[in-house]
Amino acid sequence: MLGIGNYFWRLIPANPILVRVVQAGGKRKRDLLIRCAYLGILLFLVIFLLLQSAGNLASASLSDLSKQSSEIFYYMSYVQLALVALLAPIFTAGAITQEKDSQTYDILLSTPLTNGQIVLGSLLSRLFFVVTLLISGIPIFAITQIFGGVAISSIAMSFFIACATAFVTGALAMAIAVFKVGTRRTIFSFYLFIMLYLAIPLALEKMGYFQYRWNYDSSGVAGTHVSFFAGFHPFLALRVIFGEPAYRPPEPGMVQGYSWPWNWYLSSPQTFYITFMFVLSFVLVMPSIFMLRRLAQSTVSVRALIFQKLKLSRGDRTRTPRRVWSNPIAWREAKTKASANRSVILRYGFMTAGVAAAIVLVVMSSTLKPADVYIGSGGYNSVDRTITIMENGAPTVYTVRDRYEGMKAPTKVSMGEKQKVLEDLREGMVVTSYLPDSGSLKKSLSNLNVATPEGLLSEKRTRQFLLGAVMIELAVILLILTQSAASTVTREKEDGTLDLLLSTPITSRYYVWGKLRGLVSFVLPLMAVPIVSVLIFVVRDMIRPTPWSDKPLDWTVFPEAILIMPATLIMVCAFAAILGMQMSLRCRKTVVAVMSSVGIVAGVCGGLWVCGSNAASSSIGQPGLIVGCFSPFTLMAVLVNPGDIAPDSFPTGGDMATGRLLVFIFGWAAAALYAFVVWGMYKSMVRNFDMTIRKQST
C-alpha cells in the first residue's frame, strides 16, 4: 500500500524534470513519512468510527452494518478531500520558486528543455505525489465494501473529485509562481483564498440561499434540493454522491427552463465539477507555458507592467521613517510581513469580512420574521382588558378576562406548555392559536396561545453560523501563522542573511524571542476579528429589549467569552508560532518546514478537537466539560454554542451557572498550560539553537 506509487512513474512519458523529482520523491524519507501520516489519519478515522459503534455492531443487522459502512465512507471522503486541498498547493507552489531559491532556475532555462517540458514536468512531478497518496488510500476505502452500502462508482467519483481539486489548485499555484505575482508569501494569500472559497458557498447553502428546489409535493413544498454552487464547489459536489434524500440533483429530463450546459450542471454537478476543473487546469497551464521564458527574461513584474499600461505608476516615492521597537528582530517580523501592499489588502480584507459577517448575523437575527397572526399595537390593554390581534394585516379587537365573569372562566393564556398571565402579552408576539367565545355578542377570547417572535435567523442557527465563522477565522489565523513561522529561519538560511545576523552581538535568546514576539504581534489584528465578532453579540444582547423572556437577559453568547478568548487565542497562536520556528530551525528547506509544521499543528488541533468535543458532549457531564476546555477549538465551541456542544452541562431552560463557572476557570487554566508548553519549547529552542545551526553548516 505504501509502495504502490513508487513504480507508477514508469507509465509516464520521459521528462527529465518529472523523472528526477519522482525518482527522488520515491527515495526521500520525508515523502514516506507524509504518506504514512496520510494513511494513518484515514486508518485512525476508520478505527475510531468502528470503535464508536462497537457496542451496536454485535447485534446489528445487515441494514445497520450497511449504514455504518456508508457513514465511514462519508467521513473518509471529506477527510481525503480536505487533505488534498491542503497538500496540493504546498507541493506545486514551490515548483518554480524552489528553483529560484536554489539558484538553478537560470540554468534550467538555458537547457534545451521547452517551456512545456519545464512547466508540465514541474507541475506533474508535484501532483504525482498527491495522486499516489490517493492511490495508496484505495485499500482503506475498500474496507467500506465489507458490509456493503457503498457503490464502487461512488468511491471512484470521490477519488475523481479529489484528483480534479488537486489539479486545479496545482495549476493555479503554478501559474502564480510562473507569473511572479509573488514568492513564498503568495502561498499564504492563496490559502486564504481557498479557505474563503470553500467556506462562503457552504454558509450560503446552509442558510438556504442559492438552492435549486424540486420534487414539490401537493402543498407546494419542495422535498429535495441541490446547491447552485455544487458544480464549482468540491465539498458540495462530493455531497451529491452520498445519495441523501433531501440533497440530490434532479434527473436530466426534470430540469425545466434550462438548456445545455445548465441542464448538465444541475442534473449532474459531480461530473460537471470534474470535467470543468480539468479543463480549467488546462486553461491555467497554457499561459504559463507560452510566457515562461519571456517573463523570466523580463525585469519588470506583472504588477508593475499593468500599472505602467494603466498609467498608475507614480515613480519614486518617499515616506517618513518608522520607529523601530527595542527588539529590531521582533519589529522586522511584525512589520515587514504586513507592510507590503498585498499583505495590507489581505489583512484588512480579512478583518473587514469577519466583522461584516458578524454584523450581518446580528441584523438577520434581530430582524423579526413577519408573522401572519400576531398581537398588535400596545399588547394587552389593562384598562379596557382588550388585545388587538393582527391577522393578514387586518386588526381585530378582542375582550379578555382576568377572572370569572358569570359562567365564563378567565381567558387561558399559554406560551407552548407554560401558562402565562395577561400582563405577559406584548406587542409583536406571534399568535399560534386562539379560540373565541361561542355564543357571545361581544368578541372575546377563551383561549390564547402565543410564541416568542423569531428573527430571520433563529438563535440556534445564529450560534451555529457564528461558531462556524469563528472556527474558520481561527483556522485561517493558525494556517497563516504556522506557515510564516515555518519559513522565518529557513528563509534567512536560503538567502544567506542568517550568517550575517549570527556574526553580530545578537544572542540566540534575543533572536528567538524577537521572532516569537514579532510573529504573534503580526497576527494580533487578525486575532481581534473573532473577539470583536463575539463582542458585537454581547453588546447587542445587553441593549436589546427582551420583555417576553422568562429570564431578565437571554444571552446569545455568554459575556465571559470576551474575557477567555483573548488569552486562549494568544497562547494557541504562540504555540503554533514556536512549533513552526522549531521546524524552520531543524529543516533546511522551506517547503519541508512548512509541510511538517502545518501537518503537526493540524494533527494536534484535530486530535484535541476530537477528544475534547467527545468529552464535552458525553454523558459524564461536567467532568467532560473540564476536559473539553483544554482543546482550543472545543473551548471556542463551548463559549459560542454551549447548548449543542455540551448539552448536559448547559441544559435548555436549566441551571447554567455551574457550567459557565467551570468554563471560565478551566479556560484560563488551559491558557496557562499552553503558556507553560510554549515557554518550555522556547527554552529548548534557545538551548539547542547554536548546536543545530552548526550541524547544518557542516
Residues 663 and 589 in one domain: yes
Residue 289 lies in a domain: no
- 225 close to 205: Cβ distance less than 8 angstroms: no
- 592 close to 693: Cβ distance less than 8 angstroms: no
Residue 294 lies in a domain: no
Residues 634 and 619 in one domain: yes
Measured CA to CA, the distance from residue 187 to residue 195 in angstroms comes to 12
Q: Which residues pair with 187 in a beta bridge?
A: none
Residues 388 and 245 in one domain: no
Residue 81 lies in a domain: yes
Residues shown for the chain: 698
Q: Which residues pair with 448 in a beta bridge?
A: 413, 434
Residue 309 lies in a domain: no
- 348 close to 439: Cβ distance less than 8 angstroms: no
Question: Is the entire prediction scored with pTM above 0.85?
Answer: no
Residues 139 and 233 in one domain: yes
Measured CA to CA, the distance from residue 568 to residue 563 in angstroms comes to 9
Q: How far, in Å, are 195, 472, 631 from residue 610 at the CA level?
A: 21, 17, 9
Residues 274 and 389 in one domain: no
Residues 439 and 518 in one domain: no
Q: Which of 451, 484, 513 is the last residue of a domain?
A: 451
So what's the pLDDT on residue 99?
62
Residues 434 and 478 in one domain: no
Q: Which of 252, 267, 284 is the last residue of a domain?
A: 284
Residue 417: how many CA atoms within 13 Å on its side-chain side?
1
So what's the pLDDT on residue 669?
92
Question: Exposed, middle or buried, 358 (CB in 10 Å: 0-12/13-18/19+)?
Answer: buried
**154: containing domain:** 8-284
Low-confidence ranges of the chain (pLDDT < 50): 1-13, 24, 26-27, 181-184, 338-341, 547-553
Pairing between β-strand 412-415 and β-strand 445-451 as defined by DSSP bridges: parallel
So what's the pLDDT on residue 3?
44
Residue 478 lies in a domain: yes
Residue 304 lies in a domain: no
Residue 310 lies in a domain: no
So what's the pLDDT on residue 679?
93
- 358 close to 466: Cβ distance less than 8 angstroms: yes
So what's the pLDDT on residue 186?
56
Residues 491 and 600 in one domain: yes
Residues 483 and 412 in one domain: no
Residues 440 and 501 in one domain: no
Domain count, the chain: 3
Residues 462 and 445 in one domain: no
Residues 436 and 536 in one domain: no
Neighbours of 582 (CB within 10 A): 24
Question: Exposed, middle or buried, 467 (CB in 10 Å: 0-12/13-18/19+)?
Answer: buried
So what's the pLDDT on residue 4?
42
Q: Which of 427, 451, 475 is the last residue of a domain?
A: 451
So what's the pLDDT on residue 11?
39
Residue 296 lies in a domain: no
